[in-house]
Amino acid sequence: LTPAEAFAVEYWPLELYKLTLRPPERELAGRVAVITGGASGIGRATAYRLAQEGAHVVILDINREGAEAVAADLVSRYGEGRGMAVPCDVTDEAQVAEAFRRTVLAYGGVDIVINNAGIAHSAPVTETSTADWDRLYHVLVRGYFLVAREAFRIWKAQGIGGSMVIVASKNALVAGKNTAAYSSAKAAEVHLARCLAEEGGEIGVRVNVVCPDAVIRGSSIWDTRWREERARTYGIAPEQLEEYYRQRTTLKVNVYPEDVAEAILFFASDRSAKTTGGILTVDGGVPAAYVR
């Protein structure tokens, strides 16, 4: 016995100890999970994490090639039916309805929906064009609404409940400098989630929110002009941004897509069966201090 096992044997009731020796059951076995924006970043990491727990993963993304690559890889790792790509622009009502129709046709229902597909933008309010403002609200607010409405229609008809995770942002909870459009749209997502949680209670549907702070690498947002815009806001070079984000956290860590996927798994699964309308931050502890 290792020292840890010896400790467990001595201090835990034997039956409890035996339980810990059982191979963990794949807790999402047989469940159908729809992930918007699953071709990249947080959505992609979540697709892999949920599939690892046994879920059948349906990836809705405007990036057809990226979605198909992830779905094909899931099938090759976990078997037939474990990944499906549905090209879909979440701002298009008809495409969202069609994507859910195809999902139900393929799998017979939906258990989990990860409302995640998004874009980012950072600029002082005086330099935010009306087109940028509208684009952000279109994808982040209208897109999340359309996906939620379709999921709720199915869940009402199915009558067996479900779990929705809204991927918002730390910027929804605190003011991110030079992000008036993005942060206010993300705040709208949080309140959308609270309202949906209220409605969902009647039909056994839980709706919870994950709020990541800046996600380093693996996210295509990290590789776009967002990174340069954020660096300019803080008066540093883009190469210094990763270290800047690490230093401003309490734990002195960077957040990666995989870290966010763990929080999403918690809300998607029965681990959080008694939680709805909840918010979980994945930010290395930024709120423990005032930061500018």
Q: Which residues are catalytic?
A: 182
Closest to ligand NAD by CB, 43 vs 83, is 43
Considering only residues 60-89, where is the footprint of ligand NAD by CB under 6 A? 61-63, 66, 88-89
- Pick from 183, 219, 249, 272 the residue near ligand NAD by CB under 6 A: 219
**Helical packing angle, 41-52 and 257-268, nearest 10°:** 50
CA–CA separation, 173 vs 187, rounded Å?
7
Residue 17 burial (C-beta neighbours within 10 Å; 0-12, 13-18, 19+): middle
Provide, rounded to whole angstroms, the least separation between the CB of residue 8 and ligand NAD: 38
Q: In the stretch 245-274, what mask flags binding to ligand NAD with x, by CB under 6 A?
A: ------------------------------
Provide, rounded to whole angstroms, the least separation between the CB of residue 290 and ligand NAD: 20
- Pick from 139, 209, 261, 268 the residue near ligand NAD by CB under 6 A: 139
Which secondary-structure segment (H or E) carries 263? Answer: helix 257-268
Indicate the SS3 state at residue 240.
Answer: helix
- Measured from the Cβ of residue 235, the count of other Cβ atoms closer than 10 Å reads 8
CA–CA separation, 208 vs 12, rounded Å?
34
Total residues in contact with ligand NAD, by rule CB under 6 A: 31
158 binds ligand NAD (CB under 6 A): no
Which span (20-28, 99-107, 114-122, 153-161) binds ligand NAD, by CB under 6 A? 114-122
- Bridge-based pairing of strands 162-167 and 112-115 is parallel
- Pick from 50, 71, 143, 249 the residue near ligand NAD by CB under 6 A: 143
212 binds ligand NAD (CB under 6 A): yes
Closest to ligand NAD by CB, 215 vs 265, is 215
Half-sphere exposure of 135 (CA within 13 A, CB side): 10
CA–CA separation, 230 vs 30, rounded Å?
41
For residue 54 the two structure tokens come to 């046994």
Closest to ligand NAD by CB, 214 vs 280, is 214
- Measured from the Cβ of residue 159, the count of other Cβ atoms closer than 10 Å reads 8
Provide, rounded to whole angstroms, the least separation between the CB of residue 240 and ligand NAD: 16
Binding site for ligand NAD (CB under 6 A): 36-37, 39-43, 61-63, 66, 88-91, 116-120, 139, 143, 167, 169, 212, 214-215, 219-222
